Amino acid sequence: MDDSSEAYLCINDPNGNCSESHAVLDPVEEEEEEKFRRKLKYFFMNPCDKYTARRRKPWKLILQVLKIAVVTIQLVSFGLSNQMVVQFKEENLMTFRHLFLKNFSRSSANTHAVYTQHDVYTHIAYTVEQFLMLPSITVGNHEYEKSGEVYTPLSICQQFYHNGSLSPANESFHIDTHVDEECSLIYPRQPFSTLTANPLNFTLHFERLLAVTVKFTLKSINLETVQYHELPDCYVFNIMITFDNKPHSGRIGIELDNDVQINECSDWTVTGASARDMYIMVLFD
């Protein structure tokens, strides 16, 4: 469009050729076109240009920056909380290894083993004694799991071939590959005390023995999160100690693993300023 307020229109003839036609806009149309042009130009301006043009504060930009700040704070808070969870689980795993594995050292975590029948019995008895004496030896807040009013027991199970006889000297063997399992349960009772009898109540069949597993469950609460204005979680540790004799090489490897469950504590009370801060954090979330 030129200064004479003329517009050039393209009219197609039947052959598809375009011929120009001059159209004169009246003042009202010209004004509407100019308004639309300014509105379109303003729409594609950045926030700084919009502020320069109309002195209007960029509320949408401020809102986006605020959202980025809130999300960043949430991510950092979640990362710190998750780090505390991972650290608590790893430290408890190391604690259980030191508490329940005899002569355990961190350097021998992957090579902890026994080589004699006497040592196998001794290590199992040590684990059971430590389990029964746990309330008086742990420096954490570990406790036994309860089912009603009864503590859940520690179980000792051995897996072995159903039948078999080996004679390496004669280079002969007869083996039944069906696997049998025998278990013994030991309940903690108050007052907690050490063993006064054989904890196994059965004999290990070393010639056919595949593995001995010691299983028990403990509970704990991670109180560190209180300092970061978060409600503590309740942890359930399902611990399994495995004496692995599958190779029958004369070396029985010992490994402790735990399966961790994290639950919301059913009954809790927090007093002081930290409780108020935790409610504020919940409202912020």
CB 238 within 8 A of CB 154: no
Spatial distance between the Cα atoms of 253 and 251, rounded to a whole number of angstroms = 6
Question: Taking a C-beta distance cutoff of 8 angstroms, is the pair 89, 260 a contact?
Answer: yes
Distances (CA, A) of 27 to 4, 6, 33, 93: 11, 11, 10, 83
pLDDT at 22 over 60: no
Higher pLDDT, 263 or 194: 263
The pLDDT tens digits for 124-144 are 999 999 999 999 999 989 999
Q: Helix, strand, or coil here: 38?
A: helix
C-alpha separations of 112 from 102, 121, 134 in Å: 9, 15, 22
Range from 86-90, 92-96, 166-170, 275-279 carrying the lowest mean pLDDT = 275-279
Q: Which residue has the higher pLDDT, 203 or 199?
A: 203
pLDDT tens digit string along 29-75?
A: 778 888 888 888 877 877 777 777 777 777 887 888 899 998 888 88
- Taking 70 as the threshold, does the pLDDT of residue 193 lie above it? no
Tokens at residue 123, please? 């290590």
Residue 23: what pLDDT?
Answer: 54
Q: What's the rounded mean pLDDT across residues 155-181?
A: 84
| Three-state secondary structure call for residue 283 | helix
Q: Is the pLDDT of residue 4 over 50?
A: no
What mean pLDDT comes out for the span 238-253? 94
Closest by CA position to 121, among listed 210, 216, 215, 200: 200
CA 34, CA 2: separation in Å to the nearest integer?
13
pTM of the model: 0.68
At position 36, the amino acid (one-letter code) is F
Confidence of residue 266 (pLDDT cuts 50, 70, 90): confident
Would you say 137 and 143 are in contact if contact means Cβ atoms under 8 Å apart? no
In this predicted structure, what is the pLDDT of residue 50? 76
Q: How confident is the model at residue 2 (pLDDT cuts 50, 70, 90)?
A: very low
Indicate if the pLDDT at residue 123 is higher than 90.
yes
Pick 171 or 98 by higher pLDDT. 98
Token pair for residue 51?
Answer: 């502020």
Look at residue 20 and tell me whether its pLDDT is greater than 60: no
